[in-house]
Amino acid sequence: MESINPNTLFAEYIKLIKQFKLPGVDACAILESRRKDIVALAAANTTALTGMQSLGQKQMEILSATMTRLQSLVAQQSGSESKPAADKAVQQALHKALSDMQELAETAYRAQADSYVVISKRVAENVEELKALLQPAR
């Protein structure tokens, strides 16, 4: 997948806007602010993607561990194991699966929280930039 550099894209827009000067409007400052928005959005998407990859990796680890445990239980069950011991093994396997599911939920939550932090920071910066742009010239 080809990556697009937002800085290059905005450099082209800035060149275009500089050709058309509007009195009382700092077009470059407005464009720079939008460039920062795009960069923040790209960072949030990268954070979310990293979180989803981490979640997928953890799911694969859990699946592999569960399959190994099931193979072990089937091998034990085919032996001369008593029913109470098999029930206990199944109960332990279920407990482990629930624990793993909780860990997955925490991983997803962390990924979402990290993305939210990036976006929240940019929104706060945007508010400050707008305040600065709306201040009368001295």
State the pLDDT at residue 1. 45
pLDDT at 52 over 60: yes
**Gap between the Cα atoms of 41 and 47, Å rounded:** 10
Domain residue spans of the chain? 6-132
136 pLDDT above the threshold of 80:
no
User: Looking at the predicted structure, is the pLDDT value of residue 40 above 60?
Assistant: yes
Residue 100 has pLDDT above 60, yes or no: yes
- What CA dihedral angle connects 36, 38, 39 and 42, to 10 degrees? 160
Average pLDDT over residues 23-41: 74
**Using one digit for the tens of pLDDT, what is the confidence trace for 116-129?**
888 888 888 878 87
Q: What angle do CA 69, 61, 52 make, to 5 degrees?
A: 150
Minimum mean pLDDT among 24-33, 45-54, 101-110: which range?
Answer: 24-33
Predicted local confidence at residue 80, as pLDDT: 56
Helix, strand, coil share of the chain (percent; to 5): 85, 0, 15
Which residue matches tokens 């929104």? 123
Which tokens in the block code for residue 15?
Answer: 């060149």
Please give the model's pTM, rounded to 2 decimal places. 0.50
At 82 the pLDDT is 65
Q: What's the CA gap between 110 and 54, in Å, rounded?
A: 11
Confidence at residue 48, expressed as pLDDT on a 0 to 100 scale: 80
